[in-house]
Amino acid sequence: MTEEPYRWLEAIGNRREYVREQLKGGSPVFAASLPDGILLLGVGTGHSKVFELFDRHAIAGLGHPADIEKIRQAAIDAAHLEAFNRAPEDVSLRRLVGFGLSPQLKTNFEQIFSAPFLVECLLAEVGAEPNQDLIARLHFDGAFQLHTKGVVVAASQSEAESAAQTWLNQTLAGKADRNGIVEALLEAWWCVTENKPFGDGLPSDAERRDGWRKAVNGRSIEVGWLVRKSNRRARYEELTPALSSL
Amino acid sequence: MSDPSPLAGDFFSLLARHHASPLRVAASPDAPVQTQATTVFAFHFADGVLMGGDRRATAGNVIVTDCVDKVLELDAMSLLAIAGVPATAFEMARVLQTSFEYYRRSQLQSLSLPAKVRALARLLRENLPMTMQGIGVVMPVFAGVDQTVSPPAPQIYFYDPLGAQFHAVGYAASGSGAGTIRSVLSFQDRYGQPRPAQMNLRQAVQFALRLLMIASEFDSATGGVNPDAHTFATIKVLRGSGVETVSAEKQAELLKS
C-alpha cells in the first residue's frame, strides 16, 4: 500500500521520458508577433503543421499528426461553440488554453493506462494592437506559458527551444520585414534540427542560409499569417506561395 | 450509452451533442401562415450576381427601423438575402455562418455549393413548426459560387417556406415587394437594353436601386431609396473571386453617373 504513490511517480516519470523520446525528431514550429500581425511557421514532410483555428486564432504543432489533429479539432469545436453561443469576440486564447486544452492534456497525461498525447504546440491570437497579441506555448503534459510579444518557439528539446527563442528575439528585435523574418526563422529551424549551437560556434550567415535551403528540399514550408487590420472576420491567410521569392 | 458519431465537420451535429440547437420548437397545429414585409432580390449581371434588399423592418403598420441589413455575407463565397420573420432569419444566417466556417476550418476545405444550398433547406425544414404557427416563416434567396466549373460561377437559389430549393436562371426575389419587381425583372430580362445579364456594375447597381424605388411605391413595407435623404439599399456583389459590398457612398456615386 505505502509504495503505491512511488509507483505512480515512477510511471509518470517513465511516461514523460517516453513522450520526449517519441518527440525527439519533431520539426520545430515558430510564432512571431509583428506590427502587422502574427506569423506562424513550420516545415513539414507531407503533414501540415500550421492551421487556422478561428477568426483571430491559429495553431502550429509538432508531434504525432493524429495527436496534433485531436488538439486542433478540440480547439476548433470549443471556439465555434463559444462563438455561436456567445459571440466571436468572446473566443479568447487565454480561456481556450487555460480552461480547455491544458486541463484535457494534463488529465490525459496523468492517466497512465491510456496513450499520452505526443504533441508540442503554439497557439496564437492576434489582437487589435501588437501589445494585445497572445502566443501560448502548450506542452504535452498540459503545462503552458503565455507570451505577449516577440518570437516563441516550440521544439522537442527544451534547451534548443530556449536557445533558439533567445537568439531569434535578439536578432529580430525591431524588425518587421516579413520575408526577412521568415528567413531568420528558417535559419533557426535549421540550427535546431541540425543541433547547431546558438551561442559560441553559431554557424555563419552564409552557412545558415545555405543550410536551411538544402534541408528543406523534399519538405514543405508552411507559413500562416494572422493579419491585424482587415475588413474580414477571418484573419488567417496561408502565405506559402509567397515564399517563392526567398 | 455513448453519443452517436457526429458527421465530420457538421456544426449541426456539434450543436445537437451540446443540446444547443436554436431552431427546434414544438408544433402548434392551428396557427395561420403569415408572411412578412420586405423586398430582397438577386440577379445575374456581367461580373457575377448582384444581391440587394431594402433596409426597412416593420411590425404591422409600424416602421420599426430603416437601418436593417437583409443581405448577409455567410462566408467569403456566399450571400443570403432574408425575407420573413427577422428573429428566425437572422438566427438561420448565424447558424449558417458558423456552420460554413466550422466545416472549412475543421475539414480544411470549403463546403461545396450544393451542400450549402441544402444546409439552408435543412434549416427551413426544421423551422416548419414555427412556419405553421405563423410566427417564423422565412423565404430567403441564396447566392453561392460553384467552384467545380472554370472559371468559378456564382449561382442564385430561392426557397419556399418548407425548404424546397430552386435554382434561379436569371433572377430571384422574395418578400412582400417581390411581385412588383419580379415583373420588372422579367420585362428587363426579355426586352431590356441591356438585359440584366449584360449590365456592368454601374448599370446593375442603378437597376437594383430603381427596382427598390418601384417596389416601395407599391409596397408600404418596403423601404425605398431616397438619394436626397441619403437612404440607400444593402447591395452586395458576388463574383467568382468572392464578395464585395457596394457602400451607400458608392451607390450614391453610381446613381448619379
pLDDT at res. B23: 67
For strand B57-59 and strand B62-65, is the pairing parallel, antiparallel, or unpaired? Answer: antiparallel
Mean pLDDT of the B45-59 span:
93
Whose CA is closest to A55, among A205, A232, A223, A214? A232
Q: Which residues in chain A have their CB less than 8 angstroms from residue B76's CB?
A: 232, 234
- Cβ contact B11–A52 (<8 Å): no
- Cβ contact A81–B94 (<8 Å): no
Question: What is the C-alpha to C-alpha distance for residues A101 and A166, in angstroms, rounded to an integer?
Answer: 26
Rounded to 5 degrees, φ, ψ at B138 are: -135, 130
Q: How far is A81 from chain B (nearest CA, A)?
A: 7
For the record, the C-alpha cell of A83 comes out as: 462563438
Q: Which residue has the higher pLDDT, B37 or A200?
A: A200
Report yes or no: B100 at the A interface, CB cutoff 8 Å.
no
pLDDT at res. B135: 76
Report yes or no: B93 at the A interface, CB cutoff 8 Å.
no
Each residue's pLDDT tens digit, B135-175: 778 999 999 999 999 999 999 999 998 899 999 999 999 99
Does the bond joining A65 to the residue before it have cis omega, within 30 degrees of 0? no
Question: What is the C-alpha to C-alpha distance for residues B42 and B189, in angstroms, rounded to an integer?
Answer: 13
For the record, the C-alpha cell of B71 comes out as: 443581405
Report yes or no: B14 at the A interface, CB cutoff 8 Å.
yes
Q: Which residues in chain B have their CB less than 8 angstroms from residue A83's CB?
A: 98
Question: What is the C-alpha to C-alpha distance for residues B116 and B112, in angstroms, rounded to an integer?
Answer: 6
**Amino acid of residue A207:** E
Domain at A23-239: CATH architecture: 4-Layer Sandwich (3.60)
Residue of A nearest to B76 (CA): A232
Question: What is the C-alpha to C-alpha distance for residues B143 and A136, in angstroms, rounded to an integer?
Answer: 39
Q: Which residues in chain A have their CB less than 8 angstroms from residue B19's CB?
A: none
Count other Cβ atoms within 10 Å, centred on residue A237: 17
- Cβ contact B94–A84 (<8 Å): yes
Residue of A nearest to B17 (CA): A81
pLDDT at B31 over 60: no
Mean of the per-residue pLDDT values of chain B: 89
Q: Which residue has the higher pLDDT, B188 or B24?
A: B188
What is the separation of C-alpha A26 from the centre of its chain, rounded to a whole number of angstroms? 12
What is the count of residue pairs from A and B with beta carbons less than 8 Å apart? 33
Residue of A nearest to B96 (CA): A84
Q: Which residues in chain A have their CB less than 8 angstroms from residue B105's CB?
A: 51-54, 76, 80
For the record, the C-alpha cell of A173 comes out as: 528585435
Question: What is the C-alpha to C-alpha distance for residues B158 and A87, in angstroms, rounded to an integer?
Answer: 29
- Cβ contact B108–A234 (<8 Å): no
Count other Cβ atoms within 10 Å, centred on residue A177: 11
- Cβ contact B101–A234 (<8 Å): yes
The residue of B17, B21, B101 whose CB has the most chain A CBs within 10 angstroms, and thus the best one to mutate to test that interface, is: B101
Q: Which residues in chain A have their CB less than 8 angstroms from residue B14's CB?
A: 77, 80-81
| Single pTM value for the model | 0.89
- Of B35, B38, B131, B234, the catalytic one is B38
SS3 of A185, please?
helix
CATH annotation of B33-256: 3.60.20.10
Q: Identify whether B38 is a catalytic site residue.
A: yes
Which pLDDT band holds residue B3 (cuts at 50, 70, 90)? low
| β strands within chain B, DSSP E | 40-45, 48-53, 57-59, 62-65, 71-75, 78-81, 141-146, 153-159, 165-168, 171-174, 234-239, 242-246
In the block, which residue shows the cell 477568426?
A55
Which pLDDT band holds residue B36 (cuts at 50, 70, 90)? low
For strand B48-53 and strand B234-239, is the pairing parallel, antiparallel, or unpaired? Answer: antiparallel
Question: What is the C-alpha to C-alpha distance for residues B223 and B177, in angstroms, rounded to an integer?
Answer: 10
pLDDT at res. A45: 86
Rounded to 5 degrees, φ, ψ at A28 are: -65, 155
Report yes or no: B243 at the A interface, CB cutoff 8 Å.
no
Q: Is A65 exposed, middle or buried (0-12, 13-18, 19+ CB in 10 A)?
A: middle
- Cβ contact A76–B106 (<8 Å): yes
CB B222 within 8 A of CB B54: yes
pLDDT at B2 over 60: no
Residue A74, H or E segment: helix A65-85
Residue B57 zone, left/alpha/beta (φ > 0; ψ -120 to 50; rest): beta
For strand B71-75 and strand A57-63, is the pairing parallel, antiparallel, or unpaired? Answer: unpaired
Each residue's pLDDT tens digit, B185-237: 999 999 999 999 999 999 999 999 999 999 999 988 888 888 888 889 999 99
Whose CA is closest to A227, among A92, A58, A59, A38? A38
Instruction: Tell me the CA distances in angstroms from B178 to B53, B94, B149, B183, B221, one per residue in order.
Output: 10, 24, 30, 9, 11
Residue of B nearest to A88 (CA): B98
Number of residues that make up chain B: 257
Whose CA is closest to A127, among A160, A91, A157? A91
- Please, which residues 21-60 of chain A have a Cβ atom closer than 8 Å to chain B? 48, 51-54
Does the bond joining B194 to the residue before it have cis omega, within 30 degrees of 0? yes
Query: In a structure prediction context, what are the per-residue pLDDT tens digits for chain A, which is 246 residues long?
Result: 566 778 888 989 999 999 999 999 899 999 999 999 999 999 998 888 999 999 999 999 999 999 999 999 999 999 999 999 999 999 999 999 999 999 999 999 999 888 999 999 999 999 999 999 999 999 999 999 999 999 999 999 999 999 999 999 999 998 989 999 999 999 999 999 999 999 889 999 999 999 999 999 999 999 999 999 998 899 999 987 555 556
SS3 of B245, please?
strand
